[in-house]
């Protein structure tokens, strides 16, 4: 897209790190990035709670420390967790934001990107409501592209990776059904393709 003619419909990340198209549910599970460290990497995840079930309140409840651990047997193992992501994209394309994008969300865990550890320090995490076992939806991809464009525009992000790429021993998400090719093709139409690096081997999961 010609920089002289910006997309009038583009999403915006404001000066406080909030997306103008996101519903806000502030999470306490965040802190400041290390001094002098800025966001450079976008990390894509998937999540469903309970596993394989969509549409309930449980993901937001987990990220905001209000999950009823007795509501489902699976939740008992989540009791010690204090986690968050910056964004959640639901199956219908709705985006929920939990952490301002300039702050550090607790989404990546033990991780490394291009030899650099502690990816939470320099990344922004987007959770897609989904699993490793079924396709994501077209509304999710549309939202992901618009949100990614806004984040690249605001922060000058230089790379995109899946959780599986930065924590390959522990994690497999966003998994084999995430359409890296389609996402890449959407992004190169709206951001500087030379600026934003994607995982190698886009045609397959790299778990």
Domain boundaries, the chain: 23-188
**Which residues are known to be catalytic?**
127
Token digits of residue 11 = 């999403």
Give the pLDDT score at 1: 38
**Which residues does 65 contact at the CB level (< 8 Å), separation at least 6?**
27, 28, 29, 82
Percent of the chain at pLDDT above 90? 87
What is the arithmetic mean of pLDDT over 160-189?
Answer: 96
User: What span, in angstroms and rounded, lies between the C-alpha atoms of 147 and 13?
Assistant: 9
Domain 23-188: homologous superfamily in CATH:
Peptidoglycan recognition protein-like (3.40.80.10)
202 pLDDT above the threshold of 60: no
203 pLDDT above the threshold of 50: no
What are the tens digits of pLDDT across the range 172-181?
999 999 999 9
- Phi and psi at residue 162, to the nearest 5°: -90, 160
User: What span, in angstroms and rounded, lies between the C-alpha atoms of 140 and 103?
Assistant: 24
What is the arithmetic mean of pLDDT over 74-96?
Answer: 98
What is the arithmetic mean of pLDDT over 192-197?
Answer: 78
**Mean pLDDT of the residues in the chain:** 92
């Amino acid at each position: 897209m010609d920089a002289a003619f910006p997309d009038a419909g583009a999403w915006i990340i404001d000066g406080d790190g909030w997306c103008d198209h996101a519903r806000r549910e502030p999470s306490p599970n965040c802190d400041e990035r290390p001094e002098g460290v800025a966001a450079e990497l976008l990390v894509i995840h998937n999540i469903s709670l309970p596993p394989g079930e969509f549409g309930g309140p449980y993901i937001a409840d987990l990220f905001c420390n209000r999950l009823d651990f007795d509501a489902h047997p699976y939740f008992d193992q989540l009791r010690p967790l204090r986690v968050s992501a910056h964004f959640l994209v639901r199956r219908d394309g709705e985006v929920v934001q939990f952490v301002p994008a300039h702050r550090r969300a607790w989404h990546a865990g033990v991780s490394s990107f291009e030899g650099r550890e502690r990816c939470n320090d320099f990344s922004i995490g987007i959770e897609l409501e989904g699993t490793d076992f079924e396709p994501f939806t077209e509304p999710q991809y549309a939202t992901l592209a618009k949100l990614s464009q806004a984040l690249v525009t605001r922060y000058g992000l230089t790379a995109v990776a899946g959780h599986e790429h930065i924590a390959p021993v522990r994690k497999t998400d966003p998994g084999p059904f995430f359409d890296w090719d389609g996402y890449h093709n959407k992004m190169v139409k709206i951001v500087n393709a030379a600026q934003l690096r994607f995982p190698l081997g886009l045609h397959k999961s790299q778990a």
